[in-house]
């Protein structure tokens, strides 16, 4: 019992350090970028999504380097499911969601396309390095596209007012970046070490650990960001944050991990990708129809997510 409590404490500590480290790295990096003349719009567009995806990236890379590639893939799929059902569901429970932005509508096909591409790449049981390279190339094209689209839209002011882009002391910014990087590395190490212990102690598979425990922990920034935006009535940011994080989880995180080491995809993980696609189609329906996600529907989404997690642990 004591070892379980100690490893759980290590895991939770890792989550806290990882999330805080990501926040420091993003805020310090944004401030430094301003000093080097990088346009604030570009900083806001890239770092808002990147900042919330950093925990998934750090933990998945750590898992890949330790030889637990299925845990890394499970984390990515589980995070997308958690982002959509849990984060969006909780946001709707706080305040009913209605989305109007044309920019978000254009992101939907990109997200669904990325999901479909991941399923195709995984069909053979392994995501190869060259496939990871393709995903990273698509990430570059997506980033360029989004910066241009946001520059033409009303979301420009929302991005600049998000609070991420701030100016500060250069020395303090450098310390934030350095300390943030150290925290991200240490936090990811603690998290994955704790997850590996759970896997051995409770006889769980890498995929289940990645889909549930790690995915839920690394989705906390998306949950916090979308909930805060929903409370303020900024529904475009609330949903846009989810869409951007889902796209980055595939193009950025899978791309980097596959480039480091080919990712093994078990049949069980492959089946869960269709759950990922289902939640992607659900959010597409919500955005394109302009329908309102009520508090009750948000509650149902959270219940479905809890049911999905329970299903993962059924022998």
Which pLDDT tens digit goes with each residue over 155-172? Answer: 445 544 555 555 556 777
User: In this model, does residue 129 exceed pLDDT 80?
Assistant: yes
Closest by CA position to 251, among listed 149, 108, 113: 113
Beta strands in the chain (DSSP E): 126-127, 263-264
pLDDT > 70 fraction of the chain, expressed in percent and rounded: 83
Query: Cα-flanking dihedrals φ and ψ of residue 263, to 5°?
Result: -95, 125
Is the separation of the CB atoms in 54 and 191 below 8 Å?
Answer: no
Residue 158, H or E segment: helix 155-160
User: In this model, does residue 108 exceed pLDDT 60?
Assistant: yes
Higher pLDDT, 54 or 310: 310
Is the separation of the CB atoms in 269 and 53 below 8 Å?
Answer: no
Q: pLDDT digits over 11-33, tens only?
A: 888 888 888 887 777 777 767 66
| Residues 125, 121: Cα–Cα separation, whole Å | 8
Q: pLDDT digits over 265-311, tens only?
A: 999 899 999 999 999 998 888 777 767 788 888 899 999 999 999 99
Domain ranges in the chain? 2-312
Query: What CATH number does the domain located at 2-312 have?
Result: 1.20.1420.30
pLDDT band with cut points at 50, 70 and 90 for residue 78: very high
């Amino acid at each position: 019992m004591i070892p379980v409590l100690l490893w759980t404490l290590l895991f939770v500590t890792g989550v806290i350090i990882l999330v805080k480290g990501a926040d420091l790295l993003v805020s310090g990096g944004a401030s430094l970028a301003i000093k080097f003349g990088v346009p604030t719009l570009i900083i806001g567009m890239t770092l808002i999504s990147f900042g919330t995806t950093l925990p998934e990236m750090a933990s998945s890379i750590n898992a890949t380097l330790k030889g637990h590639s299925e845990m890394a893939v499970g984390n990515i799929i589980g995070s997308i499911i958690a982002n959509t059902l849990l984060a969006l569901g909780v946001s709707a429970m706080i305040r009913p969601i209605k989305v109007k932005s044309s920019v978000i509508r254009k992101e939907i096909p990109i997200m669904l396309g990325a999901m479909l591409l991941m399923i195709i790449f995984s069909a053979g049981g392994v995501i190869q390095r060259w496939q990871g390279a393709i995903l990273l190339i698509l990430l570059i094209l997506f980033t360029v596209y989004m910066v241009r689209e946001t520059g033409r839209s009303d979301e420009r002011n929302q991005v600049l007012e998000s609070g991420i882009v701030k100016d500060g002391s250069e020395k303090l910014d450098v310390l934030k970046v350095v300390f943030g990087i150290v925290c991200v590395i240490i936090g990811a190490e603690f998290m994955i070490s704790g997850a590996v212990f759970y896997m051995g102690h409770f006889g769980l598979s890498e995929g289940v650990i990645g889909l549930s425990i790690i995915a839920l922990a690394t989705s906390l920034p998306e949950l916090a960001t979308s909930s805060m935006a929903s409370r303020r009535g900024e529904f475009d940011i609330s949903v846009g944050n989810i869409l951007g994080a889902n796209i980055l989880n595939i193009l950025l995180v899978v791309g980097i991990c596959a480039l480091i080491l080919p990712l093994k995809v078990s049949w069980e993980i492959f089946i869960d990708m269709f759950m990922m696609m289902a939640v992607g189609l659900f959010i597409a329906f919500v955005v394109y129809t302009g329908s309102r996600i009520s508090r009750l529907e948000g509650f149902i989404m959270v219940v479905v997510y809890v049911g999905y997690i329970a299903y993962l642990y059924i022998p």
